[in-house]
């Protein structure tokens, strides 16, 4: 079942001085099925961040549509967008984006509190998630007291505690060391196996090689995609590397 | 490196941080302006040929010293705020290879530039506004205004000297601050995670208890003289308590709210409460300062304005007539009608036109108050501490004939009887004892009595006794003096009249009349005839005195208030700016996790409002509790009208509140510009 359908997405920026137009996204089309784990790769400036902002309803496209579970994101107004994000999307950012005035526990509760849930329900929901993410003992700590990996796990907990239709991850391993990266990627796979749909934007071949499908964006278009199929992570890693090399050397392929 | 590089870096540093430096320089300039104006007026030659110039020349310098001390403290506060804000920049200089000596040299230029700019503009503003201030002062004092411009060289030198010294101290302080820091810490100072503030229950409790006690003191104070002493104790206690409560109490309160899970985990409370903890920790001291400054402004303004506005009442209270003569007779034998007729002639001989007059003889006995009269306890009578003042009462005796005449009454009395009027507490006993030897039957308790002139500072309440005749008055006083073995009682002749003389001549006339009274008591050989003392008082002279004292107090009060207000505004502004920078990143994250801009704005708005108006609310509370105390003290200064004080205080609070709200509106704008402006980049 298709949960996300992106068609003919275009985004043009006008620079502040003069009328120079920059086309961040030209024509993006792809779809994601329920329970999928998709990685989007591309170089800096390829339009990844723009795409993610549009998927997150933080930005509006110039043309095209994004349909999440039957609802067109591009038609939602600003006031409703926040509630929509809260109820349907979970976010994991490179810089964790935890509020330093909250304990990890309160940071994780934030979206639920905004949705008006009671404390009893929230703590009931948190227990298994904290267990799975291995942060049960850290809940009363403040962000500045824990490591980057631990912060990111708390951020993942915050993203999935609302049972979102789609988890958007923006370079989730970008600020982590290799050990924490491995740990986080393992958790992502586990969460995906638990039924969550994940869309991850990344630079890291290692991170992408854990996904079930990898999309490549170049110059504002989906340029290529690789399905994992029966391949192991190592084989996928190799395939991705080859594709990236080809992209960099400017080969024509599809 | 060449000298010019440091200078250029310094100029650059100030220009880049002008959002911080401009208000800092402006505040310095305003303080100097106020200092100069007060010093200028205090040394003005105009004082010497002005009535009551002496009063002014003692009150104005008090104002200048308050401003000097306050400026020192306040500029230190601002300076340390500025340095904290710029730590990162200095850290960067360090990393780029400057040593502390280099940075000190940049700071030297910066401080010099700031000092020169502030002093120059302060003096310029001072000279420009000194004439306006002078006109205001003369208007308040109801003096004639002239329009000569003048620059007070003495005041100018004094201003430069004092503030030059202050800026020198600030420079040394800045150097020490930079010298004691290390490079990496400077660079990372804004990134280190902040420990969540722990509520300190103990200090919060101490703060609450101290505040409660200070309030209790203020409310339960009974006697004006006591109030005067208590006031300073209470002020210090309130200041300490305010700091404790704002710094620790607020955190404790937020922590309590967080413990209550059903309250805390609600969309409206969740974010507000948790960020309030940090806000209060960081700004507690600043907010407490704002609160105390506001209270000071309000108390100063309301009391000086009340004194000034209530002046006419106080004058009428002291002098029921234009001219009031009071002669105290030391020899009881002469306390009789013939003597009084001779005294009357002294006035008549001056040839003045008397429009209305009132004459009466009176006996006055000071004793210790009791339920059934007074008694004489020399220890209490001679103990001048506030403690004993509360126990004393002045008994005034009046012959029935004079009472009936003045009040147009037709009372009758037998020997040993009296009519009684008590000014303060109602008197319920049927007899009135004067010492142990005399007791009068109270035939009737009077509900009203004519307003008597009270020319001296009187702290004791009075009880009026109307007795059968003049002889009884004399006998009672003499007997009281005999019993007490001391002159507790005296015999007085009082005479008051209105004249058709213009007010300006009344002062001179009363002086001349005083001279005539004095000559009356000396014979041709300049020998004293009988023991006496006298007082001649005129409304005009009193008005002059009051105008000088209260007018200058009001003027200095307004000047000091504007300095305090300026300081409060700057603290508020700095608070908003530093919070703006801190809230930027939070603002962004919240938006990403699913809050609308409107939600965030609402949440932040409610926090800022709370934080902002907390000092005003507390200032109002302090003011309300200080009210009885202030009133008692102002009673010493002859203010009687409690409604006037209440009205003036309320108006001051209202005006201040509106002003405060305007400042809020303006500075909140700066805050939002920072929060949303840098968010885009």
Place of tokens 């990890």: A104
State the pairing for strand pair A37-41/A213-218: parallel
- Residue length of chain B: 681
**Residues of chain A positioned with their CB less than 8 A from the CB of B589:** 97-99
Cα B403 from Cα B502, distance rounded (Å): 31
Helices (H), ranges, B441-538: 470-484, 503-520
**Residues of chain B positioned with their CB less than 8 A from the CB of A102:** 274
Q: Phi first, then psi: give them for residue B493, nearest 5 degrees.
A: -110, 130
CB < 8 Å from A in window 251-280 of B: 261-262, 265-267, 270, 274-275, 277-278
Complex prediction ipTM = 0.74
Q: Name which of B275, B592, B598 is nearest A97 (Cβ-Cβ).
A: B592
Between B34 and B281, the more confident residue is B34
Cα B93 from Cα B83, distance rounded (Å): 14
| Gap from A83 CA to chain B (nearest CA, Å) | 6
- The verdict on a CB contact (< 8 Å) between A100 and B593 is no
Q: What is the DSSP letter of A47?
A: S
What integer is the mean pLDDT of B80-96? 78
| Gap from A242 CA to chain B (nearest CA, Å) | 35
Which stretches of chain A sit within 8 Å of chain B by CB? 56, 58, 78-79, 81-83, 85-86, 91, 93, 97-102, 106, 109-111, 113-114, 116-119, 122, 142-145, 158
Cα A215 from Cα A36, distance rounded (Å): 13
| Gap from B185 CA to chain A (nearest CA, Å) | 17
Helices (H), ranges, chain A: 48-55, 78-88, 104-114, 119-133, 148-160, 178-193, 205-208, 233-249
Range with lowest mean pLDDT among A29-38, B291-300, B423-432: B423-432
* Residue B10, C-beta contacts closer than 8 angstroms, at least 6 positions apart: B106, B107, B108, B109, B110, B113
pLDDT tens digit sequence for A54-113: 888 878 888 899 998 888 888 888 778 778 888 888 888 888 888 888 889 999 998 888
B409 touches B434 (CB < 8 A): no
Cα B86 from Cα B181, distance rounded (Å): 13
Cα B481 from Cα B483, distance rounded (Å): 5
Report the chain A residue with the minimal C-alpha distance to residue B277.
A101
- The verdict on a CB contact (< 8 Å) between A82 and B594 is yes
Quick check: pTM over 0.95?
no
pLDDT tens digit sequence for A161-213: 988 989 999 888 888 888 889 989 999 999 999 889 999 998 888 889 989 99
| Gap from A108 CA to chain B (nearest CA, Å) | 10
Both structure tokens of B291: 């609160």
Q: What is the DSSP letter of B46?
A: G
pLDDT over 70 (residue B403): yes
B84 interface with A at CB cutoff 8 Å:
no
Burial of B520 from C-beta contacts in 10 A (0-12 / 13-18 / 19+): middle
pLDDT tens digit sequence for A206-245: 889 989 999 988 888 888 888 888 888 888 899 888 888 8
Tell me which of B593, B599, B680 to substitute to probe the interface with A (most A C-beta atoms closer than 10 Å).
Answer: B593
Q: What is the DSSP letter of A95?
A: T
- The verdict on a CB contact (< 8 Å) between A101 and B262 is no
Both structure tokens of B260: 């209550």
Of B615, B66, B536, the closest CA to residue B298 belongs to: B615
Cα atoms in the 13 Å half-sphere on the side-chain side of A21: 7
| E strand or H helix that includes residue A32 | strand A21-33
- The verdict on a CB contact (< 8 Å) between A99 and B193 is no
pLDDT band at A32, cuts 50/70/90?
very high
- The verdict on a CB contact (< 8 Å) between B592 and A91 is yes
Residue A251 has a pLDDT of 55
Q: Crossing angle, helix B250-259 and helix B201-220, to 10 degrees?
A: 120
pLDDT over 90 (residue B344): no
pLDDT over 60 (residue A121): yes
């Amino acid at each position: 079942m298709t949960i996300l359908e992106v068609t003919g997405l275009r985004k043009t920026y006008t620079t502040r001085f003069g009328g120079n137009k920059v086309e961040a996204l030209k024509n993006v089309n792809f779809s994601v099925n329920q329970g999928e784990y998709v990685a989007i790769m591309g170089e800096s400036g390829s339009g990844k961040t723009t795409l993610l902002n549009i998927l997150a309803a933080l930005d509006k496209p110039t043309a095209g549509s994004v349909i999440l579970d039957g609802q067109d994101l591009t038609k939602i107004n600003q006031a409703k967008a926040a509630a929509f994000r809260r109820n349907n999307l979970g976010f994991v950012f490179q810089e964790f984006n935890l509020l330093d005035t909250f304990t990890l526990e309160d940071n994780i509760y934030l979206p639920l509190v905004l949705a008006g849930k009671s404390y009893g329900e929230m703590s009931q929901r948190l227990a298994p998630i904290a267990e799975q993410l291995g942060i049960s003992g850290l809940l009363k700590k403040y962000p500045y007291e824990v490591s980057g990996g631990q912060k990111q796990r708390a951020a993942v907990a915050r993203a999935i505690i609302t049972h979102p239709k789609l988890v958007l991850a923006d370079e989730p391993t970008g600020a982590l060391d290799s050990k924490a990266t491995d740990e986080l990627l393992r958790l992502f796979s586990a969460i995906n196996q638990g039924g969550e749909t994940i869309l991850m934007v990344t630079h890291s071949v290692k991170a992408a090689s854990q996904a079930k499908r990898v999309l490549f964006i170049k110059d504002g278009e989906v340029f290529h995609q690789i399905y994992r199929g029966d391949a192991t992570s190592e084989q996928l890693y190799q395939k991705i590397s080859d594709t990236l090399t080809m992209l960099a050397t400017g080969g024509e392929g599809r | 490196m060449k000298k010019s590089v440091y200078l250029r870096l310094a100029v650059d540093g100030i220009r880049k941080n002008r959002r911080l430096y401009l208000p800092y320089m402006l505040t310095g300039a305003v303080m100097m302006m106020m200092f100069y104006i007060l010093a200028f007026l205090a040394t003005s030659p105009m004082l010497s040929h002005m009535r009551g110039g002496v009063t002014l020349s003692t009150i104005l310098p008090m104002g200048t010293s308050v401003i000097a001390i306050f400026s020192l403290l306040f500029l230190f506060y601002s300076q340390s705020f500025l340095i904290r804000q710029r730590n990162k920049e200095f850290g960067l200089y360090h990393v780029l290879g400057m040593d502390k000596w280099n940075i000190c040299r940049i700071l030297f230029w910066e401080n010099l530039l700031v000092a020169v700019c502030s002093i120059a503009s302060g003096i310029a503003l001072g000279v420009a506004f000194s004439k306006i201030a002078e006109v205001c002062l003369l208007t308040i004092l109801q003096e004639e205004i002239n329009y000569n411009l003048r620059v007070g060289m003495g005041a100018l030198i004094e201003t430069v000297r004092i503030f030059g010294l202050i800026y020198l101290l600030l420079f040394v302080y800045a150097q020490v601050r930079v010298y004691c820091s290390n490079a990496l810490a400077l660079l990372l100072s804004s990134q280190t995670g902040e420990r969540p503030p722990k509520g300190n229950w103990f200090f919060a409790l101490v703060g609450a208890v101290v505040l409660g006690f200070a309030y209790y003191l203020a409310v339960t104070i009974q006697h004006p003289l006591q109030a005067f002493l208590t006031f300073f104790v209470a002020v210090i206690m309130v200041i300490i308590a305010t700091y404790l409560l704002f710094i620790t109490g607020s955190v404790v309160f937020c922590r309590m709210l967080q413990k209550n899970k059903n309250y805390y985990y609600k969309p409206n409370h969740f974010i507000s409460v948790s960020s309030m903890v940090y806000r209060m920790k960081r700004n507690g001291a600043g907010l407490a300062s704002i609160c105390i400054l506001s209270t000071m402004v309000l108390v100063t303004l309301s009391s000086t304005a009340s004194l000034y506005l209530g002046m006419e009442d106080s004058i009428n209270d002291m002098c029921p007539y234009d001219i009031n003569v009071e002669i105290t007779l030391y020899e009881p034998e002469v306390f009789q009608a013939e003597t009084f007729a001779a005294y009357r002639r002294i006035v008549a001989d001056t040839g003045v036109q008397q429009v209305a007059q009132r004459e009466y003889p009176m006996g006055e006995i000071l004793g210790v108050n009791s339920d059934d009269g007074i008694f004489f306890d020399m220890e209490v009578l001679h103990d001048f501490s506030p403690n004993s003042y509360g126990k004393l009462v002045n008994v005034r005796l009046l012959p029935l004939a004079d009472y009936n005449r003045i009040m147009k009454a037709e009372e009758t009395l037998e020997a040993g009887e009296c009519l009684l009027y008590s000014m303060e507490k109602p008197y319920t006993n049927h007899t009135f004892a004067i010492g142990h030897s005399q007791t009068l039957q109270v035939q009737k308790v009077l509900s009203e009595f004519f307003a008597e002139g009270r020319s001296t500072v009187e702290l004791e309440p009075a009880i009026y006794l109307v007795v059968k005749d003049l002889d009884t008055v004399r006998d009672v006083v003499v007997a009281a003096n005999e019993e007490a073995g001391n002159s507790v009682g005296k015999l007085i002749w009082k005479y008051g009249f209105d004249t058709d003389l213009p007010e300006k001549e009344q002062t001179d006339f009363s002086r001349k009349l005083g001279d005539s009274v004095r000559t009356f008591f000396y014979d041709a050989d300049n020998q004293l005839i009988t023991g006496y003392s006298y007082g001649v008082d005129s409304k005009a002279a009193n008005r002059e005195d009051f105008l000088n004292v209260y007018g200058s107090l009001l003027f200095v009060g307004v000047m000091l208030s504007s300095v305090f207000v300026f300081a409060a505004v700057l603290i508020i502004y700095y608070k908003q700016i530093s919070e703006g920078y801190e809230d930027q990143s939070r603002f962004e994250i919240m938006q990403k996790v699913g809050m609308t801009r409107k939600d965030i704005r609402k949440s932040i708005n409610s926090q800022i409002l709370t934080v902002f108006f907390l000092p005003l609310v507390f200032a109002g509370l302090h003011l309300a509790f200080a009210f009885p105390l202030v009133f008692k003290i102002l009673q010493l200064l002859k203010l009687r009208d409690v409604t006037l004080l209440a009205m003036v205080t309320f108006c001051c609070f209202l005006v201040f509140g509106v002003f405060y709200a305007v400042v809020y509106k303006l500075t909140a704008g700066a805050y939002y510009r920072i929060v949303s402006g840098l968010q885009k980049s």
